[in-house]
Copies of this chain bind each other. A is one copy, B any other.
Amino acid sequence: MLIGRVIGEVVASQKEPNLQGLKLLVVQNTDVSGQLKNGQVVAVDSVGAGVGEIVLYASGSSARQTSATKDRPVDAVIMAIVDSVTQSGNETYSKSQDPN
């Protein structure tokens, strides 16, 4: 999985029928501190994530292992909202202290 921040949303009315009702979020990769770095993907939300939140997303066939995405043409899914990240015992990111 990769860590990223939800930075936007995509609206698409003309799409595969089985994509109806899915929320399509733009996620930009971040480091363990929540700082944006290169790499963006559009991921389906399966956990109620919103713009500004730090999330984990899974790619490839693993993105279809949620009830929202099963058997659908979806290659990225947000499967967790990050509370905190620690590195060598030090907290590098905490949702409660995230100004975004």
Measured CB to CB, the residues of A under 8 A from B are 1-3, 7-16, 18-19, 24, 26, 31-32, 40-43, 46-48, 51-52, 56, 58-66, 69, 71-77, 79-89, 92
Rounded to whole angstroms, the CA-CA distance of A15 and B61 in the bound complex is: 18
Contact A26 B19 (CB under 8 A): no
Which one, B14, B60, B80, contacts A80 given CB within 8 A? B14
Per assembly, the copies of the chain total 5
Rounded to whole angstroms, the CA-CA distance of A16 and B69 in the bound complex is: 12
Which of A41, A61, A71, A75: most chain B Cβ within 10 A?
Answer: A75
- Shortest CB–CB separation between residue A68 and chain B, in angstroms? 9
Rounded to whole angstroms, the CA-CA distance of A79 and B62 in the bound complex is: 17
